[in-house]
Chain A
Amino acid sequence: MQYDHVVCAFCGCLCDDIGVTVEEGQITQTKNTCVLGKAWFMEHGKPQDLPVARINGQPASLEEGINAAAEILADAHYPMLYGLSSTSCEAQRQVIALAEILGGSIDCCTSVCHGPSGMAVQGVGEPTCSLGEVKNRADLLIYWGSNPAESHPRHMAHYAVTQKGMFIPNGRKDRTVVMVDVRRSLSARAADIVIIIKPGKDYEVLWALRALILGHKIEADSLASTGVTLEQLTDLADRMKKCKFGVIFVGQGLTQSRGKFMNTTAAFLLVRDMNKTNKFALIPMRGHGNVTGIDNVMAWQTGYPFGVNFSMGYPRFNPGEFTIVDVLSRGEADALLSVASDPVASLPSTARRRINEIPVIAIDTHESETTRIAKVAFTTTTAGIGAEGTAYRMDNIPLHLSKVLPSPFPSDEELFVRLISRVKELTS
């Protein structure tokens, strides 16, 4: 069976031109995928030799697993629900409902990837555009703190750098590509201009660039600690003012470095300034396939994109208080529900220590360090391979995820409908 125009849900690009060949119940070939997308389809398209549920590492039925998980959650004083960046919006909606019923905290992978970009959006607004506009209009592309060649391998070819567009008839020749980073990454090969800055100096460079754009004079010496020269910044400012449609793609180089949300706020303000004279936009380079989706679903369900607590009976948002690293590092949560994520592998050691002290329920499509230590682990099918659903691309465009394989496992959405029902029975 051949499927065309399938969406790849590995990364935030959500490339929607993928071809998938299915033979004898497994994916045998893909077309148009990057190396990351191919691995995602091929590995998730293999039969999984895992039980649908495990309790203390022993195989269990789905019903037994749901009972055990519901008891943990119903007994917890402060359950923490986390992950959700690699599942469908339909499942995300169910998990948020569960967090509200439990009066716990819910956080997503956003808090450890682009949470600071979300905070900048709240502070100063989001001057954005779609990737379609990038393809058809953008003649100046600035990747800041991002290495798309390795994190989003088709971003430059499918949406941005080499694509020909409606007003970019010659593709690459009509665009100027700038890489701003602390190192010369593989992506630098695709750039016309590479600007290397000192680690932790993004805020200073962005603020200086804002000043130049707004017509202020800067002393060359004031940039000495940044590793960037006044000539480099003046040249970039000139290019930004002369372009027809510029876009800054912001990576984790900004969000995970000193300054964090101040870095992203400076970038958003720079783009806001640019729009006084010409068209400019900013798009965060979102990592996981539906991490943009969980921000959207959390925002429409609770009013906030991540780090939400329901202990007062209504949603409260506070990064640093209700976010996963902080809750676990302070030793606060007494149960963890992990959905489509691997916090044992991906969080700092201080958070992992708390994970090892509390009962963990892990729901994932494959074995992970978190499912291995979980008191209750479920195997579910992958949204976009074994189940349909909705995911949001990094530019906040929702796309339909297809089902291309039958699966013996439930979808995350199906599992959570049943889990919520059982939790309600126990807590009513």
Chain B
Amino acid sequence: MAERKLILITGRSTHQGVGISSGKGLEEYQAATTVLQLNAADMERFGFKNEDIVRLKTSFGSATVKCNSADLPEGLAFIAFGPTINQLVGGDTQSSGMPDSKGFEIELELVSD
């Protein structure tokens, strides 16, 4: 089986930004911050289909999200900022105050399709 590892980028999205005002507890915000975007070739390599539920893991924690294909370079995944994905981020800031919120390695496994 292919090694299921990618570099994850977190960032802003329109729906995530709206959710900051309308309520993080609402379904729209939850949906906006729990969808992982992947390159179609990576999805095929990993055996994932759109809407599959996958678990992401780092040495700091894990998170369960939905996955979908998107226009991204191979090897790169994107997800909107939010409490779910912050579980994967560690507290080491390399004396900068800034945690590693972008460009860290994640391991993926299929939970259900």
Name A residues whose Cβ lies closer than 8 Å to a Cβ of B.
Answer: 10-11, 35-36, 39-40, 42-44, 107, 111-112, 115-116, 119, 147, 150-151, 153, 182-185, 196, 199-200, 227, 252-253, 255-258, 260-261, 287, 306-307, 319-321, 323-326, 328-330, 342, 344-352, 366-369
Contact B91 A328 (CB under 8 A): yes
Contact A348 B99 (CB under 8 A): yes
Specify which chain B residues have a CB less than 8 angstroms from the CB of A329 in the assembled complex: 90-92
With an 8 A cutoff between CB atoms, is B12 at the interface?
yes
Contact B82 A345 (CB under 8 A): yes
Size category, B interface: 35 or more
* Given A40-B21, A182-B9, A307-B97, A348:B102 Cβ within 8 A: no
Q: How far is the CA of A76 from the CA of B5 in the complex (A)?
A: 44
Contact A112 B83 (CB under 8 A): no
**Interchain Cβ contacts under 8 Å between A and B, 21 examples:** A36-B17, A111-B98, A112-B101, A115-B96, A150-B12, A150-B13, A182-B73, A182-B103, A184-B71, A184-B72, A252-B101, A256-B101, A256-B103, A260-B94, A319-B97, A319-B98, A321-B95, A329-B91, A342-B24, A348-B91, A349-B90
Distance in Å: Cβ of A156 to nearest Cβ of chain B: 14
With an 8 A cutoff between CB atoms, is B41 at the interface?
no
Specify which chain A residues have a CB less than 8 angstroms from the CB of B87 in the assembled complex: 349
A115 CB contact (under 8 Å) in B11, B82, B97:
B97
Contact A325 B93 (CB under 8 A): yes
With an 8 A cutoff between CB atoms, is B81 at the interface?
yes
With an 8 A cutoff between CB atoms, is B31 at the interface?
no
Contact A350 B91 (CB under 8 A): yes
Q: Contact flags (1/0) for B10-49 with A, using CB distance below 8 Å? A: 1111100110111111000000000000000000000000
B83 CB contact (under 8 Å) in A42, A200, A307, A345:
A345
Distance in Å: Cβ of B107 to nearest Cβ of chain A: 16
Contact A319 B95 (CB under 8 A): yes
Contact A111 B73 (CB under 8 A): no
Specify which chain B residues have a CB less than 8 angstroms from the CB of A346 in the assembled complex: 81, 83, 86
A119 CB contact (under 8 Å) in B78, B96, B100:
B96
Contact A256 B17 (CB under 8 A): no
Contact B18 A261 (CB under 8 A): no
Contact A261 B96 (CB under 8 A): yes
Q: How many pairs, one residue from A and one from B, have CB atoms within 8 Å of each other in the complex?
A: 152
Q: How far is the CA of A112 from the CA of B101 in the complex (A)?
A: 9
In the complex, residue of chain A having the shortest beta-carbon distance to the beta carbon of B89: A348
In the complex, residue of chain A having the shortest beta-carbon distance to the beta carbon of B12: A151
Q: How far is the CA of A324 from the CA of B12 in the complex (A)?
A: 21
8 nearest A-B pairs in the assembled complex, by CB-CB distance? A329-B91, A323-B97, A320-B95, A350-B91, A111-B97, A319-B97, A348-B89, A151-B12
Contact A320 B102 (CB under 8 A): no
Q: How far is the CA of A199 from the CA of B18 in the complex (A)?
A: 27
Contact B97 A112 (CB under 8 A): yes
Distance in Å: Cβ of B60 to nearest Cβ of chain A: 6
Specify which chain B residues have a CB less than 8 angstroms from the CB of A252 in the assembled complex: 11, 101-102
B97 CB contact (under 8 Å) in A326, A349, A350:
A326
Specify which chain A residues have a CB less than 8 angstroms from the CB of B60 in the assembled complex: 348-350
Contact A255 B98 (CB under 8 A): yes
Distance in Å: Cβ of A255 to nearest Cβ of chain B: 6
Contact B24 A345 (CB under 8 A): yes
Contact B11 A320 (CB under 8 A): no
In the complex, residue of chain A having the shortest beta-carbon distance to the beta carbon of B70: A183
Specify which chain B residues have a CB less than 8 angstroms from the CB of A257 in the assembled complex: 102-103
Best-buried of A112, A182, A344 by chain B (most CB within 10 Å)? A182
Q: How far is the CA of A150 from the CA of B81 in the complex (A)?
A: 12
Contact A183 B103 (CB under 8 A): no
In the complex, residue of chain A having the shortest beta-carbon distance to the beta carbon of B10: A256
B90 CB contact (under 8 Å) in A323, A350, A369:
A350
Contact B102 A39 (CB under 8 A): no
Contact A151 B17 (CB under 8 A): yes
In the complex, residue of chain A having the shortest beta-carbon distance to the beta carbon of B19: A39
* Given A260-B94, A306-B97, A199:B21 Cβ within 8 A: no
In the complex, residue of chain A having the shortest beta-carbon distance to the beta carbon of B13: A150
* Given A346-B86, A348-B86, A43:B22 Cβ within 8 A: yes
* Given A345-B83, A351-B91, A199:B76 Cβ within 8 A: yes
Specify which chain A residues have a CB less than 8 angstroms from the CB of B78 in the assembled complex: 183
B91 CB contact (under 8 Å) in A185, A256, A326:
A326
Q: How far is the CA of A286 from the CA of B94 in the complex (A)?
A: 22
Distance in Å: Cβ of A204 to nearest Cβ of chain B: 13
Distance in Å: Cβ of A275 to nearest Cβ of chain B: 27
B17 CB contact (under 8 Å) in A150, A183, A307:
A150
